[in-house]
Chain A
Amino acid sequence: MSSVQIRDVRKSFGNFEVLHGVTVPIEDGEFVVLVGPSGCGKSTLLRMLAGLENITSGTISIGDRVVNNVQPKERDIAMVFQNYALYPHMTVADNMGFSLKLRGASQDEIGKRVKRAAEILALAPLLERYPRQLSGGQRQRVAMGRAIVRDPQVFLFDEPLSNLDAKLRVAMRTEIKELHQRLKTTTVYVTHDQIEAMTMADKIVVMHDGIVEQMGSPLELYDKPANQFVAGFIGSPAMNFLKGKVRSNGVASFEGPNGVKLPLKTAPTASDGQPAVYGIRPEHFTIADDGAEAEIIVVEPTGSETQVFAKLGGEQVVAVFRERHQFNPGDKIRLKPDPSLVHLFDDATGKRLNA
C-alpha cells in the first residue's frame, strides 16, 4: 500500500491540452473516485497513473518514488478495465495467474494466490471456465481477481461497472467497497456516475474540462459545493437553479425569475441587487403556506418518494417529497425552500457565495 501524489499534471495530445494542471493528493489506503462528465480527462489521468499515457508535465509519484518515467509493469499497480480486458483464450485461473507467471513465480505459488483471490471473490467454482462462459458480473469479478492476485500498491478502476445492468451495478458497488474495506489498498476509481462516486468514495475529485472543480468527502461535496458545476453534478435529481438578484435591504431574500420571492438565511457577501444563482436541492423543498406558488406539470411517484416537476416563476423546478401528497398536474402548490440549505452562486463565475 502506498500514497499517491499527482502534482500539477498536464496532458496534451498534439497541440490540444486536455488536462490543465491537476493536483490530487491521495493518502495511503484511501478510496478516491475521479468523477466527471465524458471528456473531462478523468480516464486520461488514470491511464497516466497506470503508465499507459505519457505525462506531458508535472509529476506523479507512488509512495515516495516519482514514476513519470517508470515502465507500467514496474509501477506495482493493477488496473480493472471498463471492458474487463480478460484474455479470452485463457481460463479464469490462467487469467488471474498471468501476471505471476510472467514474473516467473512457481506453479505452487501461482496456484495458492489464485485460490486465495478466488475465495475472496467467490470465483472458486469458475476457475476452469473461459471468459465467454461467464456472466457480466462474473467477468467483472475475474477482472478484480486479476488485480488482487498481484497484491499491488494501488488499484486502478476505469469505469468498471458501466457494462453491467442497473441491479448488478448496485451489487458490485457494494462488493468493491467491501473488498476495499478488507484489503485497504489505495484505490483510484474513475466513473461518470455520481451515485457510484457518492456511495464508494472516501474522497471525490470532481473533474470538468481538464481541471479539478472540487475535492472532498462525498458529504462535503453535497453540502457545500464550491461552484455551480459541482452543485449540479452531485445529487440526483439535480439541484434546481434559479437566476435572479440578491436583496439585502432589511431582511435578506432573493428575487427569482418573474419577481418570485425566495427566502435567504443571510445575505452573503453579495450587495443588494447583485445578480446571482439560487440553488436548492429537490429534497429541500417543503410545502408551506408562505412558500412560492408553483404549478404542477408532472408527478412521478417512485414508491419511496415522489418527484414533482413544477413551474416556479416560469422556470421548471423539481421537488422530491417522501410524504405521499395527493398531487395532480395543474394543481397549484406552495413550495418553500429550506433557507438554511440554500446555495448561492455568482452569476458570472459560478463560484459559491454563501458560507
Chain B
Amino acid sequence: MADIAVAPRAKPQFREASAWDQLKHNRNWLGLWFMLPAMAFLIFFLAYPLGLGIWLSFTDTRIGRVGHFVATENYEWLWDDSIFWLSVFNTLLYTFLASAIKFAIGLYLALLLNENMPFKAMLRAMVLIPFIVPTVLSALAFWWIFDSQFSIISWSLKHLGLISQNINFLGDATWARICVIFANIWRGVPFVAITLLAGLQTVSPSLYEAATLDGATSWQNFRYITYPLLTPIIAVVMTFSVLFTFTDFQLIWAMTRGGPVNATHLMATLSYQRAIIAGQLGEGAAISSAMIPFLLAAIMISWFGLQRRKWQQGESND
C-alpha cells in the first residue's frame, strides 16, 4: 500500500496580487483616466485663462511688452475712471431690463405654446428661429434695421406720415440703449420660452383638472399651480439668462461698438477695447476681473434659488 501513498499534492498556487494588479482593477484609477481629457480641457481652456486674466490685472502688461507686477494699480485707476463706472451702470441696466423682459415674454410665449392650438409643432419650432441665427448675423441685421439713413422703421414711419425725419437710432444715447436691449431680448426670448415650455410640460394635466374641480379660475390655476411648480426651472433659466446677458459682447460690438459716447459700453466691450484695441492688457484684464464679483453674486442668488424646496424632498410622487 505504501507505494500508492498519495504524493502530497501541490498546493494550488495563489500568487499574491501585486500593487499593479490591484491598481489595474481599481475603479477609481480607471475613473481618473476617463476624467483626464475633460480635466485637461477645463484646465487649459478655462482655469488657466481665468487665472492668467486675474494675474494680468495685477500687472502693467501691454501688447508686445512683458508686464511687471503693479499690485492693485489698475483697479485704483479704474476706480477713478468715469467711463468704467458708466460701463458698470450700462451692464447692470442692460442685464436687468433685458432679463426681466425676456422672462416676461418668454413665460407668456411658453404658456401660449403649451395650449392646444393648430400648428402647435410648427409654432414651437418658429419660436426657436432667433436662437439659431448666428449672433453676429442678427446683430448686423439689427444694425441695418436701426441704421440712421436706411432704417426700415424710419422709412415706414415716414411713409405713414408719423415722423418727418429719420430717427437716429444708434446715434442717440437713449435710443441706442433701447435698440441693443431690444436686440438682446429678441435673441434671448427663445431660450427662456422653450425651457419654460419644457418645464410646463412636466406639470401633470390632472393637477389642473383637480384645481378646476376645486373651483380655480385660469388665473388661479396659474397663480397656485403653474407658478409654484415652475419656480425651480425659472431659477435655472434666469440664472443662465442673467449670466449670458451680463457677459454679452457680440451684439454690442457688432451694433454700436459701445457708442454713442460710450452709452452702450458694457464691461465686456470696454475690456476688449482697452485690452485688444488699445493694447492695455493689464487694464482690460482688470475690467474683466471686475465682472467676477457680479457674476458670483448672480450665481449665489440662483444657488439659493435652486435649493430643493421642502416639497421636492422625499420620494418621487409617481
Binding site for B on A (CB under 8 A): 50-52, 72-73, 77-79, 81-83, 85-90, 98-99, 102-103, 130-133, 139, 146, 150
Q: How many residue pairs, one in A and one in B, have C-beta atoms under 8 Å apart? A: 76
Query: Does B160 lie at the interface of the complex (its beta carbon under 8 Å from any beta carbon of A)?
Result: no
User: Given contacts A73-B214, A87-B225, are A130 and B220 in contact (CB under 8 A)?
Assistant: no
Query: Does B21 lie at the interface of the complex (its beta carbon under 8 Å from any beta carbon of A)?
Result: no
A299 to B135, CA, bound (A): 74
- CB closest residue in chain B, given A52: B209
Which residues of chain A come closer than 8 Å to B213, judged between CB atoms? 50-52, 72-73, 77-79, 99
Q: How many residues of B contact A (CB 8 A)?
A: 26
Query: Does B65 lie at the interface of the complex (its beta carbon under 8 Å from any beta carbon of A)?
Result: no
Q: Is the CB of A89 within 8 A of B214?
A: no
Interface bits B289-315 vs A (CB < 8 Å: 1, else 0): 000000000000000000001111111
Q: Is the CB of A88 within 8 A of B317?
A: yes
Interface bits B209-244 vs A (CB < 8 Å: 1, else 0): 111111110001000110011000000000000000
Q: Which of A83, A90, A131 contacts B206 (CB 8 A)?
A: A83
Interface bits B191-207 vs A (CB < 8 Å: 1, else 0): 00000000000001011
Q: Which of B212, B228, B309, B314 contacts A72 (CB 8 A)?
A: B212
A72 to B229, CA, bound (A): 23
Q: Is the CB of A99 within 8 A of B215?
A: yes
Q: Which of A81, A103, A130, A133 contacts B210 (CB 8 A)?
A: A81
- CB closest residue in chain B, given A90: B311
Q: Is the CB of A132 within 8 A of B229?
A: no
User: Given contacts A85-B207, A88-B229, are A130 and B214 in contact (CB under 8 A)?
Assistant: no
- CB closest residue in chain A, given B231: A89
Q: Is the CB of B212 within 8 A of A132?
A: no
- CB closest residue in chain B, given A94: B224
Q: Is the CB of A102 within 8 A of B215?
A: yes
Q: Is the CB of A89 within 8 A of B311?
A: yes
Q: Is the CB of A130 within 8 A of B318?
A: no
Which residues of chain B come closer than 8 Å to A77, judged between CB atoms? 213
User: Given contacts A72-B213, A85-B210, are A130 and B204 in contact (CB under 8 A)?
Assistant: no
Which residues of chain A come closer than 8 Å to B312, judged between CB atoms? 88, 132
User: Given contacts A79-B210, A88-B229, A102-B220, are A130 and B215 in contact (CB under 8 A)?
Assistant: no
Q: Is the CB of A130 within 8 A of B311?
A: yes
Interface centre among B206, B211, B214 (most CB of A within 10 A): B214
Which residues of chain B come closer than 8 Å to A79, judged between CB atoms? 209-210, 213
A177 CB to closest chain B CB (Å) equals: 23
In the assembled complex, 9 residue pairs joining A and B whose CB atoms fall closer than 8 Å, in A order, are A52-B209, A82-B206, A83-B204, A83-B318, A85-B204, A86-B317, A87-B211, A102-B220, A150-B214
Which residues of chain B come closer than 8 Å to A132, judged between CB atoms? 311-317
B228 CB to closest chain A CB (Å) equals: 5
Which residues of chain B come closer than 8 Å to A72, judged between CB atoms? 212-213
Q: Is the CB of B318 within 8 A of A52?
A: no
- CB closest residue in chain A, given B312: A132
- CB closest residue in chain B, given A132: B314
B292 CB to closest chain A CB (Å) equals: 35
B214 CB to closest chain A CB (Å) equals: 4
A73 to B315, CA, bound (A): 31
Q: Is the CB of B207 within 8 A of A87?
A: yes
